[in-house]
Structure 1
Amino acid sequence: FYENLTVEENLNYFSLFYNIPSKTIKKNLSEIINLTNLQDCLGVVAKNLSGGMKRRLDLACALISSPDVLFLDEPLSGLDPIRKSSILFILKKVNSFNRTIVFSTHNLSDVESLCSRIIVIKEGKIIENSSKEELVSKYSFVYRIVIKMSGTSRSLEPFLVYYLKEKGIKMLGSFKMGEELSFFVTEPEAAAESISAFFSGRNASFKWLSMKKPTLSEIFMMLYLEELKNMTKIPVTKSEMDALSSEVRLLRKEFSDDEVFQYLCSLGIDAHVVSETLMKRDADDKRIK
């Protein structure tokens, strides 16, 4: 819409722009105004409207041509719950008139409340195109394990990922949010047992562990995670590596030096830092002996 025109002037302008027959303009606009609830602001200049009313005017202008398919770019972003609810009502009403609505969003709650079909785009490519039910069913074999880490065990997080991988646990991805570390796995019982073994073998603990089927939002997150070998790295600095020297000793008891070296490098730590850390561990071991 044009900000310097009133709501009514904008609607009349777009009616002429789309060559709407003059005999149907009045009826057409009346229906759209009632649908978008713009009756009380027809004489208001568009730039003076609230954010929610501007969004309604956007929709009204888009509906003037009676499109079979309506494309919207994040129509619900930046709205408070009340205004968002009113826009959702309008979109559902439009959809009930057998009109297809295609809209982009990063908010999965919007998708769950409005969409019948979901397209997931990653790096410009469509990686999923299915109904909500089909998408959930497709990943019914996946479980999400969430571990609430304790303060003393947080330094073990990067090694836990490596440990699970070496124990043959198939992971489709992982991510960290606050104190919670999440894994998407196909064998939840085996993963939970390996996690417990990892902590008990190091005299460490975690606050709690949960296991459940992923929600639609969590499936979306999983689709955006890289495969395990390319997953988002948990950053480890040189000072943190010094603090993890005891963990390095435990890893070297279970895995070869080459495996430990490659894993530490995969975390994004400089190879020289890794070498220094391993050599420091060797020197410490010799002094202990």
Structure 2
Amino acid sequence: MTQPTATQRAHESTPEHAHFAAAREDTSRASPFLTLRNIGLSYGERAILRGVDLSVAPGELVSVLGPSGSGKSTLLRIAAGLLAPSDGTVDVDGTPLTGPRPDVALAFQDPCLLPWLSVERNVAFGLTFARQPALSRETRRTRIDAALTEVGLSHAHHLHPRQLSGGMAQRVALARCLARQPRALLLDEPFGALDEVTRADMQRLLVTVVRDTGAATVLVTHDIDEALLVSDRIVLLGNQGRTLAQWQIDVPSPRDAQVQALGALRIEILQALQLAMSRDTTSAQAALHTTSHTTR
């Protein structure tokens, strides 16, 4: 089934798009919306995360890379309020996080769509959040329409999951998050199961969504190229869940035509990732010397 590309979407000048339009502003100097300090998590003697710090400003997209088992997905669940850390604190907009919030949305690799519901009703399901303030029918309709338009599916309200391609299903999952008007968007390898062409289109869509909504966004990914193409900053976790390095990517988007210019950085990150897979965390940290670079 043919799906619209990110560049084919039009943002109509109608009230339902006011939230997204209002979010388009310079956030480069904004204070962090999401802040994780000295996060640690252990199960018995097994450490999953150790002393992880992460802050994300409105409109910033931070990718988290790391080998399997480094605690990337666990970190997202802590940031979403689904899991309490053993150590450290999480602040959302300056307030301690004590549990899930409607303005912090989490999406997974599996779109988790309910097969018996239409696209529209799957998106509406995101508004049934226990702590979501009561919404009028008109407000719900406005949010659903705006979210589906933002992801390029304004034509697909009445389709069912069995009628959707993989890319369209992920768009619905993203729209379900956007209907909540989140101020933080947490994405756990959402494009990992997609084919290369669809994945590239979804990456472009993600950059557009972050720009339009101003959401503080964290993307967990195994794909260095994906991180380079979409991120403002890349954070590397190593074994035993320690932060080993980070890179600031000050290269304008879209970056498709600038992949060659990013090639040297890709090699550097790949080498760092190989070091991160070492079980000798102390040696890896010494070799990387808690790397922090800016690429322009």
- Larger RCO (alpha carbons 8 Å, 6+ apart): 2
Query: Larger % of strand: which?
Result: 2
Q: TM-score, normalised by structure 1?
A: 0.47
TM-score normalised by the chain length of structure 2: 0.46
Q: Larger radius of gyration, structure 1 or 2? A: 1
